[in-house]
Structure 1
Amino acid sequence: MNDQRRQGTREPYAGPGASSSLKKPPGSISHAENSQQAGRILVTRNHDVIRRWAEQRGARPATMPGSEYDGRLGVLRFDFPGYGGAVLRAVGWDEWFATFDARRLMFRYQERRADGGPSNFNRLEQSQRDDW
């Protein structure tokens, strides 16, 4: 597989083993401004933005049980009402954000789907940027 644009994929610039944010053309990452544009994917590290986004959807901070290591949180997730809560363990915002910051993660999310409806799309990715 190569790094060329692939038709019909969500991450057309992503190559094998690479963060999609590193393979997209410069300027393609959108931050929280203009966040209401339908279908737009945004990226932030701002705790207030992340928490507001989750709470507007009824989502709570969570982790995958058994993914902890050395007493620290493992896989970070959001527990959305009606989705997978039985397999997730609720955690507090402070612990969730401490792990988020320690791992230098970025939050990729969508406010509205292309059809204008609310979106729950989100992904946590390792940031390779020094200016975050």
Structure 2
Amino acid sequence: MAEKQGNQTPNTPDVSETELREMKVDELRQEARDEEISGASGMRKEELVQEVAKAKSGNDAGDSGSGDSDSDADDLGAGPEGGKIRRGPDSSKSLKYSQEVTSTEDEPEREGRSLATTHHEVIRQWAEEREGVPATVEGTEHGDHLGVLRIDFGGDDANLRHVGWDEWFATFDERGLNFIYQEQRSDGQQSNFFRLENPQREDA
């Protein structure tokens, strides 16, 4: 049998980065929380792989015990509004009738329920469960700022450019947006429906 060529991190003989990369992002985040890595909810997959590999090898032992790592990660994931819906003069009717979600523990009241949140980790988990990637529409940029925000579910839209979650959420918060979405359609099937709304003006 061929040996696994998985470990690219020096001094980590028992940690296979290949195996870590085969894990789902939410599994990696759980590994990171177990290792008390602070800020795991804000990391991308490759960052999680590197940090978990370092923590498991003991290379980063001096940095991990810096207080309330779990609560810090939760706070970081909530966003500046704590997950609460932003309201304004141009709030849509769909926002008014949506169930507010302020935690990853919140469940829809029923199948097909319209949901709304500003909680970063709720949005990220929803997207990643559907293999969605944060993206922006090419040609809509404003100087150095991202243009129209989207989530790419692997379609054929050549105008979408993938970006990091940190940049996506920074723009999301800067524009004061709400994330309106569904977990399931009324027939119980998983839904990819979402839209972004700025309650302070008509165009998001």
Return the TM-score normalized by structure 1.
0.74
Q: Please name the residue that 1:111 is paired with.
A: 183
Counterpart of 1:98 (choices 163, 170, 173) is 170
Give the superposition deviation at 1:20.
Answer: 1.6
Cross-structure match for 2:152: 79
Return closer, same or farther for 1:64/1:36 CA change in 2, 3 Å cut-off: same
Q: Percent identity?
A: 53
- Residue deviations 1:107-128, cap 9 Å, x none? 0000000000000000000134
Q: Aligned pairs, how many?
A: 108
Q: Secondary structure at the match of 1:96?
A: helix
Distance (whole Å) between structure 1 residues aligned to residue 177 and residue 95 of structure 2: 17
**Change in 2 beyond 3 A, CA 1:22/1:31:** closer
Out of 65, 74, 90, which is 2:138 matched to? Answer: 65
Q: Which has the larger radius of gyration?
A: 2
Instruction: Specify which of 100, 119, 123 is matched with residue 31 of structure 1.
Output: 100
Cα offset for 1:23? 8.1
TM superposition shift of 1:87: 1.9
Residues 1:41 and 2:114 are matched in the alignment = yes
More strand by share: 1
Q: CA RMSD in A?
A: 2.1
Shift of 1:29: 2.6
TM-score when normalising by structure 2: 0.49
One of 88, 110, 113 as aligned partner of 2:160: 88
1:56 aligns with one of 109, 122, 129: 129
Runs of 5+ consecutive residues of structure 2 not aligned to the other structure: 1-89
C-alpha separation in 2, matches of 1:71 and 1:54: 25
Q: Which amino acid aligns with 2:98?
A: I
Higher helix share: 2
Which sections of structure 1, spanning at least 5 residues, go unmatched? 1-17
83-92 or 103-112: which moved more? Answer: 83-92
